Amino acid sequence: MTTARRLHYSYQEYLALLDVSGVKLEYCDGEIYAMAGGTPAHADLAASVTRLLANQLLGRCRVSSSDLKVRIEPSGLSTFPDVTVVCGERLVSKLDKNAVVNPTILVEVTSKSTEDYDRGEKLNHYKQCPSVMLVLIISHRRPQVTLHKRSRADWEVREYRAGEFLEVATPEFRFGVDDLFSGIELDSE
């Protein structure tokens, strides 16, 4: 009888693989995962939210695309969120000079293959990062944004749908769900 062997990679092995990989790789707990490619709707939504946030946070925060790696040091997750916002000085990991460790806002656009992960395990990793104040999860199927906001006691969750405006006090920004989804043909599933 043959048994499957679980491979365990060091962070340095992950970085070496990432350097030669043609795809983005996520790392957690010694395991490496290839990140799923996106649909046109996914790409358009990521670009739309980047534009909306960058226009309003200009001069106060830095808004970056999914090319920026984020390391959630308390949980050990290294990943590439669809959009990362850092307010204040950008700090990098001691293990990885290309990974930011102090994001203020993280944004994920869901896809058919990642929705459960984005709304579950990945969100739980994000909440462990002390600098994260907001997590936005944008649906690829309907005009809907889920806002997870850190409060003194825990995390507040609010859904925003077509016709509504998402408004945040710190860092201050506001945009309409209709503006975010304007002109974008959403995925059917």
Strands (DSSP E) found in the chain: 25-28, 31-34, 61-64, 69-72, 77-79, 83-87, 99-100, 105-109, 134-138, 144-150, 155-161, 165-168, 173-176
| 21 in a structural domain | no
Q: pLDDT tens digit string along 122-134?
A: 999 999 999 999 9
pTM here?
Answer: 0.94
For residues 95 and 70, is the Cβ–Cβ distance under 8 A? no
**Percentage of residues in the chain having pLDDT higher than 90:** 86
Q: Identify which of 178, 177, 106, 100 has the alpha carbon closest to the alpha carbon of residue 145.
A: 177
Residue 4 lies in a domain: no
Q: What is the CATH number of the domain that holds 68?
A: 3.90.1570.10
Is residue 13 a part of any domain in this protein? no
148's CB contacts (< 8 A; 6+ apart) are 123, 126, 127, 134, 135, 136, 137, 155, 156, 157
- Residue 70: closest CA among 55, 52, 85: 85
Helix (H) or strand (E) holding 48: helix 40-57
In a domain, 80, yes or no: yes
pLDDT-derived band at 2 (thresholds 50, 70, 90) equals low
Domain coverage including residue 107: 38-181
Residue 125 lies in a domain: yes
What is the count of structural domains for the chain? 1
Q: Per residue in 36-57, pLDDT tens?
A: 778 999 999 999 999 999 999 9
- For 38, list phi and psi in degrees, rounded to 5: -110, 165
Is 175 a domain residue?
yes
C-beta neighbour count of 108 within 10 angstroms: 24
Give the pLDDT confidence of 59-107 residue by residue, as tens digits: 999 999 999 999 999 999 999 999 999 999 999 999 999 999 999 999 9
Whether 16 is in a domain gets the answer no
What is the predicted pLDDT for the residue at 4?
54
80 touches 68 (CB < 8 A)? yes
* pLDDT given for residue 35 in this prediction: 86
Task: Indicate whether 126 belongs to any domain.
Answer: yes
154: Cβ–Cβ under 8 A, 6 or more apart, which residues? none
